[in-house]
């Protein structure tokens, strides 16, 4: 088993990254340097086989997924001890993201070992989101909610690929971008 951590994510285009980073600067400066804004498709894992075998499996996603649109329509919050503020995708985006998660999960089954073995990776519980801030103290959390809840959000982007990321020296970086199947434009 590799001791390196990996995860699979959607990384938005730069305009959306800038929008998200504006809020991250306000509420969670620490994450600005450790991980790019993203939507997790599969949470951190270790490799049980060589990286090349995982990449071979992930390459199959190119023919199984077509590009789709993600639209963020509101801020939302997890208050499960980690206190997270995030951008929430609309319901159609959530359906598409769950499908992507399901296909990705089936492709990498047997190739990985979850970092958090007790963390349920259950599609019914998968709540796609783009984190703005996490590990917010209880006192600060109510203020963050008060600031963000009334704001309307109208941000979206086309998802044409997923990224395999690797943690090296405390920072996540891209190993590979896997583009989706693009329909012929003839």
Percent of the chain with pLDDT over 70: 90
39-47, strands of its sheet edge to edge: 112-114, 39-47, 6-10, 161-168, 171-179
Instruction: For residue 67, give the nearest of 22, 99, 32, 30 by alpha carbon.
Output: 99
**Residue extents of the structural domains in the chain:** 6-71+93-124+157-179
Instruction: For residue 116, give the nearest of 7, 15, 11 by alpha carbon.
Output: 7
- Report the pLDDT value the prediction gives residue 81, as an integer from 0 to 100: 76
Q: What's the whole-number average pLDDT of the chain?
A: 88
- Report the pLDDT value the prediction gives residue 49, as an integer from 0 to 100: 86
**Strand residue runs (E) in 97-150:** 112-114, 130-133
Give the pLDDT band of residue 104 (cuts 50, 70, 90).
Answer: very high
- Report the pLDDT value the prediction gives residue 123, as an integer from 0 to 100: 73
User: Is pLDDT of 185 > 50?
Assistant: no
Q: Higher model confidence: residue 70 or residue 54?
A: 70
User: Is pLDDT of 64 > 60?
Assistant: yes
pLDDT in tens, 34-43: 788 999 999 8
Class of domain 6-71+93-124+157-179: alpha beta
- Give bridge partners of residue 159 from the DSSP assignment: 68
Average pLDDT score over residue span 119-136: 82
Dihedral sign for Cα atoms in the order 138, 140, 144, 145: positive
- Among the ranges given (100-104, 105-109, 159-163), the one the predictor scored with the smallest mean pLDDT: 105-109
């Amino acid at each position: 088993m590799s001791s390196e951590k990996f995860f699979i994510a959607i990384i938005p285009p730069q305009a959306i990254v800038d929008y998200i980073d504006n809020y991250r600067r306000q509420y969670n400066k620490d994450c600005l340097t450790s991980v790019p804004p993203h939507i997790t498709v599969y949470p951190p894992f270790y490799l049980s086989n060589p990286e090349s075998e995982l990449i071979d499996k992930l390459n199959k996603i190119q023919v199984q997924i077509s590009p789709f649109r993600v639209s963020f329509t509101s801020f939302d919050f997890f208050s499960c001890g980690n206190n997270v503020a995030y951008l929430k995708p609309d319901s159609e985006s959530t359906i598409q993201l769950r499908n992507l998660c399901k296909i990705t999960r089936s492709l990498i089954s047997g190739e990985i070992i979850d970092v958090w073995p007790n963390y349920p990776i259950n599609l019914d519980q998968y709540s796609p989101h783009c984190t703005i801030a996490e590990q917010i103290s209880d006192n600060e959390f109510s203020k963050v909610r008060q600031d963000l809840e009334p704001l309307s959000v109208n941000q979206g982007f086309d998802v044409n690929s997923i990224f395999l990321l690797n943690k090296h020296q405390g920072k996540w970086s891209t190993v590979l971008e896997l583009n989706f199947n693009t329909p012929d434009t003839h």
